[in-house]
Amino acid sequence: MKPLLRPALIGVSVLCLALALLGASEQTFWTLRAPRVAAGFTVGALLALAGLAMQVLLRNPLADPYVLGTSGGAAVGSVGALVLFGGYMWLGASLGALAAGALLMGLAPGALRGTASHHEDDASARLILTGAMIAAVLGALTTLLLALTPDNRLRGAIFWLVGDLSGAETPLWGAVMLVLFLAALQGKARSVDRLMLGSEAALLLGEPVAALRWMLLTLACVATASAVAVAGTIGFVGLVVPQALRFAGVRQVRDLSWMSALAGGTLLVLADSVARTVAWPLELPVGALMSLIGAPVFIWFLMRGAR
């Protein structure tokens, strides 16, 4: 890891957060701007950590938090809550994401217990395929629920599905989840580093492979649920941030965890500031802007990996 990377990342993050908070009156600062920046930072950090956990779990550097259908569960839960109760989308998103994670654990428990390196690719493939099928079913359910959504609520539902921070408040539960996630990765950093070598190597080194995989999947699902409950579905943060840090030379989970959280939070705050100002007085959904940024970066990662 380059010696200047840590101070540079901290300096850029502080600068971006300060710029995002400038230009507001005192009342606007405390009632709108500060809660929005706090929500954006927390959501971005949670998604980056969830992406890191999924990449370790699947041993695939191009995995992201939504690859196993968690976002589909959140979408079904949020739109279902809007149709049935006229609100409580945050609660529906949380329950839906957790239910999708539980369904995945129930349908593919064997994939989390891989005990030999020659079975690991099969285990990852089973997890990914199971998650993809769950996501496909949940996507169809979301489309059906959108067809049943009243016209006066449809715009809000669509903004939620593409990611939006305009109505976000200070996410206390998300902040608690972020601290717990960081503490778990820091406490198990050496074990997770060994898991990245492969299940056979981790077992030979005395690591409980199945327990570590269950922990990573559970933390990723809960973190994604917490993020979606605040801001809707926002993609590519969990893909871009950990992989960019690896390209910069960060390899150990002890550094990757806190740097991913800091960089992910900063990236989403910066993207939200651009979405809020680039078409003023109109406000763009930050999830759509992140997709415009993340998709080209994803293609670049694929091309770099091929070379």
Confidence of residue 49 (pLDDT cuts 50, 70, 90): very high
Average pLDDT of the residues of the chain: 82
Interatomic CA distance for residues 162 and 159, integer angstroms: 5
CA of 49: how far to CAs of 41, 121, 184, 205, 242, in Å?
A: 12, 23, 11, 25, 8
The whole-angstrom separation of Cα 254 and Cα 187 is 9
pLDDT tens for each residue of 161-193: 888 887 777 778 889 999 999 999 999 999 999
pTM of the prediction?
A: 0.88
The residue among 32, 97, 120 whose CA lies nearest residue 233 is 97
How confident is the model over 218-235, as a mean pLDDT?
85
Buried b or exposed e, range 246-275, using 16+ CB within 10 angstroms: eeeebeebbbbbbbbbbbbbbbbbbbbbeb
pLDDT in tens, 258-299: 999 999 999 999 998 888 888 777 788 888 888 888 778 777
Q: Is the dihedral of CA 269, 189, 236, 164 positive or negative?
A: negative
Domains and their CATH numbers in the chain: 58-306 (1.10.3470.10)
The yes-or-no verdict on residue 122 having pLDDT over 60 is no
What is the tens place of the pLDDT at every residue in 81-98?
Answer: 878 887 777 788 778 888
pLDDT over 70 for what percent of the chain? 92
What span, in angstroms and rounded, lies between the C-alpha atoms of 16 and 76? 34
Radius of gyration of the chain (CA): 19
